[in-house]
């Protein structure tokens, strides 16, 4: 659902802007513009009604105090000013959730990007049959619905019949009937492994496609001049890969910061306080406790926290010429 | 340090290194596949092998009981049908509406075009779950909660920005010279659309609808929030299929396989689009 998944546009390249076409078009511009707006109208109406308006409602809601009573009666909820925000910002639990979400994002994104890059580089070195095997394996993981992947990890780490405990016990460790979610560090390790495992295919396959853009002559020349493989990687491959690396890292940050499915499913739809992220916290407040306004305030804060990253992403998309 | 084998650059490669790389690659692939394998393994085992303290690494006694019992669950088939209806509605609507906007962005230059592009790009980044609270209240007010149409409407918004963006890419991929040649030969704009752009965007429409299907089919949080248990889709069924004795892992894994099959098949069909599309954009500059 992200723009970066768009198909190639082979007929265009940044070197030849469509200036030749733009001129004659501009002369009939008024009628053109009317048709174009007419064509865009349905999309704009839907986006305004179902995205812009809810966004506005969410902000309004965050300044009110809407509970179950107002939901059933349909009455306008009482105004609460900045109460919901004050409540969140002075609440240690909320800050705990923010810190946890941020820490998880930093750790999981670093691990997945590094692993993805490593696998992409590895794929250049292996035999073509091994490469195909790696690709096929990653494709299956990528294709797996998030929830199915999460359920499979829930089953692997099941305390009684999970294969993980069985294997660890066989290796001589005492892991029989070990519960992985009692200790939050262990639980978060499972969640992180799940997210990194599921994220590697996207990263490795994109980056390995990006690596084909690195001219082999350049690497060869560097080697002839006595560069070590590490120097060639640092001074040639990575700079060429940088725009792509930036995009996939930004996307990973946006995705992982919004973690919901994995901790939700692994904790059976009732994440304990230590397993709450901003997304599940906001959701639980609204739909679990009917605290719709508090949930909205947390959602607004989440969006504000992400805003910088999102602006960066959009600017990057414009910069690399994906948007023309 | 550099050796040349049939013109292939082999930067700092040794036999031992290659062997090590190949082994690492194979181990990596096996580790990645293991959870997928374990789902399959579990689904085809009888319950006594599933609930065993010494798990079997392949089904010693092959059985389809888990699939029978998943399909026999009261809400399994209804959930599947619900999912198909909602997905079809959302994808069809997104395709029609999105195609028009994509056409405008790709083929017309007009004041406000960049603004529309910006909106389409930006809304994709809004964490959709954050909007679930107001959307829930809006649909509740309109009497659309606990209906399939209400969910389809939300999914439509979820799919629309992506659809516009992707189709825009496919339409810009058709050379403008084709349009112009046809118009010189006497085609009207409408004829250019029906005879040139629409047929040539065919693969794009297929890829976009398949991707939309995957998105809508995989969603479970929105539908679970808006609808009662009777009006869920299969993903939501997967999340809350618990018995009093805890999770029935065999049928759950069988259900997970049935739910995943269309997604995996579709994904493998369009994976080329997804993978190459990304780099086509990002390595250009």
CATH number of the domain within which B145 lies: 1.10.3720.10
Give the span between the Cα atoms of B107 and B223, in whole angstroms: 36
Does residue B207 share a domain with residue B79?
Answer: yes
Domain range A91-319, CATH class:
mainly alpha
Tokens representing residue A229 in the block: 């493989």
By CA distance, what is B281's nearest residue in A?
Answer: A322
Q: What is the pLDDT along chain A (324 residues), one digit of tens a residue?
A: 444 444 444 444 444 444 445 455 455 678 888 889 999 999 999 999 999 999 999 999 999 998 988 888 878 899 999 999 999 999 999 999 999 999 999 999 999 999 999 999 999 989 999 999 999 999 999 999 999 999 999 999 999 899 999 999 999 998 988 999 999 999 999 999 999 999 999 999 999 988 988 888 888 899 899 888 889 999 999 999 998 899 899 989 999 999 999 999 999 888 999 999 999 999 999 999 999 999 999 999 999 999 888 888 888 877 776 665
Does residue B92 share a domain with residue B45?
Answer: no
Is the separation of the CB atoms in A61 and B134 below 8 Å? yes
Q: pLDDT per residue over B130-171, tens digit each?
A: 899 999 999 998 999 999 999 999 999 999 998 998 899 889
Looking at the structure of chain B, the number of domains it has is 2
* Any B CB within 8 A of A175 CB: no
Does residue B95 share a domain with residue B139?
Answer: yes
Question: Which residues have CB under 8 Å from A149's CB, separation 6+?
Answer: A141, A194, A197, A198, B35
Nearest residue to A23 via CA among A14, A15, A32: A32
Does residue B79 share a domain with residue B173?
Answer: yes
Does residue B233 share a domain with residue B101?
Answer: yes
Write the residue in B101, B133, B220 that is nearest to A43 by C-beta: B101
Does residue B89 share a domain with residue B205?
Answer: yes
CA-derived radius of gyration, chain B = 25
Work out how many CB contacts closer than 8 A connect A with B: 382
Q: pLDDT per residue over B17-75, tens digit each?
A: 889 999 999 999 999 999 999 999 999 999 889 888 888 899 999 999 999 999 988 88
**Residues of chain B with C-beta less than 8 angstroms from the C-beta of A232:** 11
Least confident piece of the model among A268-272, A280-284, B217-221, B246-250: B246-250
**Residues of chain A with C-beta less than 8 angstroms from the C-beta of B126:** 51, 55, 303
Give the span between the Cα atoms of B109 and B113, in whole angstroms: 7
How far is C-alpha A168 from the chain's CA centre? 31
Give the span between the Cα atoms of A180 and A178, in whole angstroms: 6
* Any B CB within 8 A of A55 CB: yes
Residue B89: inside a domain? yes
Residue B146: inside a domain? yes
Residue B168: inside a domain? yes
pLDDT at position B174, please? 87
Tokens representing residue A237 in the block: 């491959």
By CA distance, what is A71's nearest residue in B?
Answer: B137
Q: Do B133 and A292 touch (CB under 8 A)?
A: yes
User: What is the rounded average pLDDT of the residues B122-134?
Assistant: 84
Does residue B138 share a domain with residue B29?
Answer: no
Q: Do B279 and A254 touch (CB under 8 A)?
A: no
Write the residue in A9, A228, A283 that is nearest to B172 by C-beta: A9
Query: 3-class DSSP state for residue A149?
Result: helix
Residue B267: inside a domain? no
- Beta bridge mates, B5: B8
Residue B218 has, within 13 A of its CA and on its CB side, a CA count of 26
**Residues of chain B with C-beta less than 8 angstroms from the C-beta of A10:** 173, 280
Candidates B27, B113, B130: best to mutate against A (most CBs of A within 10 A) is B130
pLDDT at position A76, please? 87
Candidates B3, B20, B32, B83: best to mutate against A (most CBs of A within 10 A) is B32
pTM above 0.95, yes or no: no
Q: Do B172 and A153 touch (CB under 8 A)?
A: no
Nearest residue to B258 via CA among B127, B97, B116, B73: B73
> Phi then psi for B3, rounded to 5 degrees?
-115, 155
Does residue B91 share a domain with residue B205?
Answer: yes
By CA distance, what is A35's nearest residue in B?
Answer: B104
**Residues of chain B with C-beta less than 8 angstroms from the C-beta of A142:** 267, 271
> Phi then psi for A64, rounded to 5 degrees?
-115, -170
**Residues of chain A with C-beta less than 8 angstroms from the C-beta of B129:** 258, 260, 279, 282-283, 299
Nearest CA-CA distance, residue B185 and chain A, Å:
18
Q: Do B285 and A283 touch (CB under 8 A)?
A: no
Residue B173: inside a domain? yes
Q: Which domain holds residue B20?
A: 3-65
Does residue B223 share a domain with residue B170?
Answer: yes
What's the CA dihedral at A274, A276, A277, A280 to 10 degrees?
Answer: 180
- Beta bridge mates, A79: A64
Domain finish residue from B65, B82, B98: B65
Give the span between the Cα atoms of B47 and B52, in whole angstroms: 8
Does residue B137 share a domain with residue B10?
Answer: no
Residue at token pair 């733009």: A22
Does residue B138 share a domain with residue B45?
Answer: no
DSSP A286: I
Nearest residue to B257 via CA among B16, B51, B44: B44
Give the span between the Cα atoms of A324 and A18, in whole angstroms: 9
Nearest CA-CA distance, residue B71 and chain A, Å:
17
What's the burial of B188, exposed, middle or buried (CB within 10 Å: 0-12/13-18/19+)?
exposed
Neighbour count for residue B108 (Cβ, 10 Å): 18
Neighbour count for residue A318 (Cβ, 10 Å): 15
Q: Do B238 and A147 touch (CB under 8 A)?
A: yes
Q: Tell whether the torsion through CA atoms of B199, A17, A205 and A228 is positive or negative.
A: positive
Does residue B83 share a domain with residue B61?
Answer: no
* Any B CB within 8 A of A235 CB: no
């Amino acid at each position: 659902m992200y723009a970066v998944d768009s198909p190639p546009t082979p007929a265009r390249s940044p070197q030849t802007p469509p200036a030749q076409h733009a001129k004659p078009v501009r002369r009939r511009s008024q009628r053109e513009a009317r048709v174009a707006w007419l064509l865009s109208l349905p999309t704009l109406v839907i986006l305004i009604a179902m995205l812009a308006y809810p966004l506005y409602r969410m902000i309004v809601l965050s300044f009110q105090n809407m509970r179950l009573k107002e939901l059933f009666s349909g009455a306008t909820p009482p105004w609460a000013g900045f109460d919901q925000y004050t409540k969140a910002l002075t609440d240690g639990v909320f800050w705990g959730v923010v810190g946890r979400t941020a820490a998880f994002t930093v750790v999981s994104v670093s691990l997945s990007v590094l692993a993805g890059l490593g696998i992409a580089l590895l794929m250049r070195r292996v035999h073509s049959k091994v490469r195909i095997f790696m690709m096929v394996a990653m494709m299956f993981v990528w294709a797996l619905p998030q929830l199915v992947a999460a359920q499979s990890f829930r089953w692997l780490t099941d305390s009684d019949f999970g294969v993980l405990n069985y294997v660890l016990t066989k290796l001589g460790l005492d892991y029989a009937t070990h519960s992985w979610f009692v200790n939050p560090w262990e639980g978060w390790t499972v969640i992180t492994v799940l997210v990194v495992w599921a994220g590697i295919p996207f990263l490795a396959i994109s980056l390995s496609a990006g690596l084909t853009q690195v001219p082999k002559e350049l690497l060869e020349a560097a080697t002839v001049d006595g560069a070590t493989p590490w120097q060639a990687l640092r001074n040639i491959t990575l700079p060429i890969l940088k725009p792509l690396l930036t995009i996939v890292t930004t996307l990973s940050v946006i995705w992982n910061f919004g973690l919901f499915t994995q901790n939700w499913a692994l904790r059976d739809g009732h994440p304990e306080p230590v397993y709450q992220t901003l997304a599940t916290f906001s959701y639980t407040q609204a739909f679990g406790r009917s605290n719709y306004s508090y949930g909205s305030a947390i959602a607004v804060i989440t969006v504000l926290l992400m805003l910088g990253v999102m602006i960066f992403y959009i600017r990057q998309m414009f910069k690399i010429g994906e948007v023309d | 340090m550099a050796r040349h084998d049939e013109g292939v650059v082999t930067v700092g490669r040794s036999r031992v290194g290659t062997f090590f790389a190949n082994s690492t690659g194979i181990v990596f692939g096996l580790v990645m596949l293991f959870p997928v394998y374990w789902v399959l393994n579990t689904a085809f085992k009888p319950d006594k092998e599933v609930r065993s303290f010494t798990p079997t690494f392949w089904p010693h006694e092959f059985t389809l009981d888990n699939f029978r019992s998943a399909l026999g669950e009261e809400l399994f088939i209804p959930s599947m049908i619900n999912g198909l209806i909602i997905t079809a509605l959302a994808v069809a609507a997104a395709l029609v509406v999105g195609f028009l906007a994509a056409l405008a962005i790709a083929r017309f230059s007009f004041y406000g075009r960049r603004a529309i592009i910006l909106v389409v790009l930006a809304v994709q980044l809004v964490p959709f779950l954050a909007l679930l609270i107001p959307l829930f209240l809006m649909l509740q007010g309109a009497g659309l909660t606990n209906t399939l149409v209400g969910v389809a409407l939300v999914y439509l918004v979820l799919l629309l920005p992506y659809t516009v963006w992707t189709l825009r890419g496919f339409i810009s991929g058709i050379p403008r010279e084709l349009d112009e040649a046809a118009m010189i030969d006497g085609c009207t704009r409408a004829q250019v659309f029906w005879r040139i752009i629409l047929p040539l965007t065919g693969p794009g429409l297929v890829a976009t609808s398949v991707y939309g299907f995957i998105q809508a089919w995989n969603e479970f949080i929105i539908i679970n929030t808006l609808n009662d248990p009777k009006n869920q889709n299969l993903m939501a069924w997967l999340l809350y299929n618990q018995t009093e004795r805890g999770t029935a892992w065999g049928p759950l894994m069988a259900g997970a396989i049935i739910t995943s099959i269309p997604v995996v098949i579709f994904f493998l069909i369009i994976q080329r689009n997804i993978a190459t599309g990304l780099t086509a954009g990002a390595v250009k500059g």
